[in-house]
């Protein structure tokens, strides 16, 4: 039986694993597919303390390698169910074919990209509508592309795409850009990038591939905008279903509610990273939560009065 | 030995994961950079119905996206 099972192998999950291993907890980290998580699809990270500039992939892999310095177990499985109780353990985590037991669980399950709600957006997914500029942007070398969204993530997607595309149009639904000042200034200075505010995409058109976005302006009039591709960056959806299944409290956005000890409402259950209700989400904030979660999991299992939790709520 | 083509871009992390896997298993593959080769990009679109990497062609079986389990199954790797 493990002291802690960390579900999710992104930067938060592996930071939690690194610290749990460091604290001597018998640790298992389970990742469904991509070790390193979604940050590996980020071109450049510039806000990790001590490193001025690094690719998301390099950063994630450095955290993974750091975690591997300690005696931890790593498993690649898609976890389908978590339940309270077990043969020996307090929690049972299972993929269907494999089952693991532990004294505590840390949810580091992250988030997925929010799909665009416009008519036909699903029809053109991977046929001109994309959710990862780093993966698919280079295919559109010399083409006219759009980025849908006004966040800092959207700004970074636009800046990356400008390295390949002939024109990049940032289509922002609101009145202004919402990203960090440093990236907004980069957008302004970049001659390939044009920012359009008050633009709501209501439909996507094309034959086999996307070729037109139907944009509704502030005046509710629509116009057609020709593009070869649209990269969507309109937010994320937390992957919190497993936690919800054991009674972990979520907020309206389906994010796991945590306190300053990264604890959820259920004893022995912690969470960190993009799946939590932290408003400002960055790799560094997720890593901070991860260390906090591991420390309090350690404190929890080493409490002289520790008894296996059975789904009790924290007082 | 199975004939494997991988349609990729240099930056695509999922493409790198496939290539690492093939190297670890000692499996030969042909790497096609669709960011540079537009004809190959069209070929990828025709085969997979998508303009998104990675796409694998393993002896005519097409796998669009990252699905290592499916690859292992086709190549009979445990």
Task: Print the domain residue range for A138.
Answer: 115-232
Please check whether residue A15 lies inside any domain of the structure.
yes
Q: Closest Cα of chain B to A137: distance in Å?
A: 8
| A219 plus A127 within the same structural domain | yes
Q: What is the mean pLDDT of residues A221-230?
A: 95
The reported pLDDT for the residue numbered A39 is 86
Contacting B with CB below 8 Å, chain A residues are: 33-34, 36, 40-41, 43, 57, 126-128, 130, 134-139, 141, 164, 208-209, 229
| C-beta neighbour count of A140 within 10 angstroms | 24
Q: For chain B, which residues make up each domain, given as ranges? A: 4-70
Q: Please report residues of B whose CB lies closer than 8 A to that of A41.
A: 13
Mean pLDDT, all residues of chain B: 92
Strands A167-171 and A193-196: parallel
Which one of A232, A267, A288 terminates a domain? A232
- For B:29-58, CB contacts with A below 8 A are 34-36, 41, 45, 49-53
DSSP sequence for A206-248: ESSSEEEEEEE-TTS-EEEEE-SEEEE---EEE--HHHHTTT-
DSSP 8-state assignment for residue A109: -
pLDDT beyond 70 at A46: yes
Closest B-chain CA to A123: B50
Q: Are residues A210 and A263 in the same domain?
A: no
Structure confidence at residue A303 as a pLDDT band (50, 70, 90): confident
Q: Which CATH superfamily is domain B4-70 in?
A: Glutaredoxin (3.40.30.10)
Tell me which of A35 and A162 has the higher pLDDT: A162
pLDDT at residue A315, rounded to an integer: 66
- Contact yes or no for B52 and A137 at CB 8 A: no
> CA of A74, closest CA in chain B: separation in Å?
17
> Could you read off the pLDDT of B6-29 as tens digits, one per residue?
999 988 888 999 999 999 999 999
Q: Chain A residue closest to B38 (CA)? A: A139
Largest CA distance in chain A: 67
Which residues in B lie closer than 8 A to residue A128 (C-beta atoms)?
Answer: 51
**Distance between CA atoms of A127 and A96, rounded to whole angstroms?**
33
Cross-chain CB nearest to A138 (options B9, B13, B16)? B9
> What's the CATH code of the domain at A212?
3.50.50.60
Question: What's the pLDDT score for residue A150?
Answer: 95
A39 belongs to a structural domain? yes
* Sequence-distant (≥ 6) Cβ neighbours of residue A196 within 8 angstroms: A169, A170, A171, A172, A215
**Is B10 at the interface with chain A, CB within 8 A?**
yes
User: Within this chain, do residues A270 and A126 fall inside the same structural domain, yes or no?
Assistant: no
Q: d(Cα A157, Cα A159) in Å, to the nearest integer? A: 6
Binned at pLDDT 50, 70 and 90, residue A33 comes out as confident
Helix (DSSP H) and strand (DSSP E) numbers for chain B: 3, 4
Pick from A200, A232, A264: which residue ends a domain? A232
* A57 and A194 belong to one structural domain: no
From chain B, the residues in CB contact with A134 under 8 A are 11-13
What is the total count of domains within chain A? Answer: 2
Q: Is B11 on the interface with A (CB under 8 A)?
A: yes
Phi and psi (nearest 5°) for A42? Answer: -95, 130
Which residue of chain A has the CA closest to B68?
A33
Taking every pair of Cα atoms in chain B, the longest distance, rounded to a whole number of angstroms, is 35
**pTM value?**
0.87
Q: Do A119 and A100 lie in a common domain?
A: no
Are A227 and A80 contained in the same domain? Answer: no
Distance of CA A190 to the CA centre of its chain: 27
**Best residue of A135, A143, A227 to probe chain B, by most B CBs closer than 10 Å:** A135
Q: Residues, chain A, total? A: 315
* Residue written as token pair 């966040």: A151
B8 — contact with chain A (CB < 8 Å)?
no
Asked, for residue A132, whether it belongs to a domain, the answer is yes
Catalytic residues of A: 132, 135-136
Q: Which residue in this structure is represented by tokens 């892999």?
A: A61
Reference A47, options A16, A11, A22; nearest CA is A11
Residues A161 and A261 in one domain: no
Residues A105, A128: one domain?
Answer: no
Task: Please check the confidence at residue A237 and state whether its pLDDT lies above 80.
Answer: yes
Please check whether residues A202 and A124 belong to one and the same domain: yes
Question: What whole-number distance in Å separates Cα of residue A156 and Cα of residue A112?
Answer: 17
pLDDT, tens only, A67-119: 999 999 999 888 999 999 877 778 999 998 899 999 999 999 999 999 999 99
Runs of H (alpha helix) within chain A: 11-22, 56-68, 133-136, 152-161, 181-189, 241-244, 283-301
The answer to whether A266 touches A246, Cβ cutoff 8 Å, is yes
Q: Is the pLDDT of residue A5 over 80?
A: yes
pLDDT at A42: 84
The CB density around residue A221, as the number of other CB atoms within 10 Å, is 8
Q: How high does pLDDT run on average in chain A?
A: 92
Regarding whether A81 and A29 lie in a shared domain, the answer is yes
Q: Give pLDDT tens digits for A278-300.
A: 989 899 999 999 999 999 999 99
* Residue in chain B lying closest to A125 (CA): B50
Mean pLDDT of A188-195: 96
Q: Using the beta-carbon criterion (under 8 Å), do B34 and A33 form an inter-chain contact?
A: no
B66/A33 Cβ within 8 A: yes
B49/A127 CB distance under 8 A: yes
The answer to whether residue A313 is domain-embedded is no
- Is A125 contained in some domain? yes
Q: Same structural domain for residues A70 and A175?
A: no
The better pLDDT of the pair A305, A122 is held by A122
pLDDT digits (tens, 9 = 90+) for A241-272: 999 999 999 999 999 999 999 999 999 999 99
User: Which pLDDT does position A40 carry in this prediction?
Assistant: 85
**Which of B10, B32, B51, B77 best tests the A interface by mutation, with the highest count of A CBs <10 A?**
B51
Domain match, A101 and A123 both:
no
């Amino acid at each position: 039986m493990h002291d802690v099972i960390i579900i999710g192998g992104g930067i938060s999950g592996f930071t939690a694993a690194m610290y749990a291993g460091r604290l001597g907890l018998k640790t298992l980290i389970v990742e469904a597919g991509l070790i390193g998580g979604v940050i590996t699809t980020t071109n450049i990270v510039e806000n990790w303390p001590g490193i001025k500039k690094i690719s998301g992939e390099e950063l994630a892999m450095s955290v993974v390698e750091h975690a591997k310095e300690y005696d931890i177990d790593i498993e690649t499985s898609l976890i389908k169910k978590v339940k309270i109780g077990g043969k020996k353990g307090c929690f049972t985590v299972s993929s269907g074919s494999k089952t693991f037991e532990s004294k505590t669980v840390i949810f580091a399950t992250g988030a997925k990209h929010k799909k665009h709600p416009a008519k036909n957006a699903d029809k053109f997914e991977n046929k001109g509508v994309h959710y990862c500029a780093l993966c698919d942007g280079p295919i559109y070398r010399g083409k006219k592309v759009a980025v849908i969204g006004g966040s800092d993530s959207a700004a970074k997607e636009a800046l990356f795409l400008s390295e390949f595309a002939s024109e990049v149009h940032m289509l922002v639904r609101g009145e202004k850009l919402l990203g960090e000042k440093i990236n907004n200034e980069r957008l302004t200075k970049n001659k390939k990038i044009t920012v359009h505010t008050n633009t709501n995409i209501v439909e996507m058109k094309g034959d086999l591939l996307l070729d037109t976005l139907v944009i509704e302006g502030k005046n509710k009039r629509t116009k057609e905008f020709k593009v070869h591709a649209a990269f969507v960056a309109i937010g994320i959806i937390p992957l919190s279903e497993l936690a919800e299944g054991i009674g972990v409290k979520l907020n309206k956005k389906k994010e796991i509610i945590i306190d300053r000890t990264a604890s959820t409402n259920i004893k022995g259950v912690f969470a960190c990273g993009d799946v939590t209700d932290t408003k400002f989400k960055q790799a560094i904030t997720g890593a901070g939560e991860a260390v906090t979660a591991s420390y309090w999991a350690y404190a929890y299992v080493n409490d002289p009065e520790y008894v296996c939790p059975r789904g009790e709520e924290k007082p | 030995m199975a004939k494997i083509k991988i349609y990729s871009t240099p930056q695509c992390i999922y493409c790198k994961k496939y290539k690492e896997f093939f190297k670890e298993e000692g499996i030969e593959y042909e790497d096609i950079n669709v960011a540079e080769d537009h004809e190959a990009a069209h070929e990828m679109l025709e085969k997979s119905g998508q303009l998104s990497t990675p796409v694998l062609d393993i002896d005519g079986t097409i796998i669009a996206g990252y699905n290592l389990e499916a690859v292992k199954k086709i190549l009979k790797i445990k």
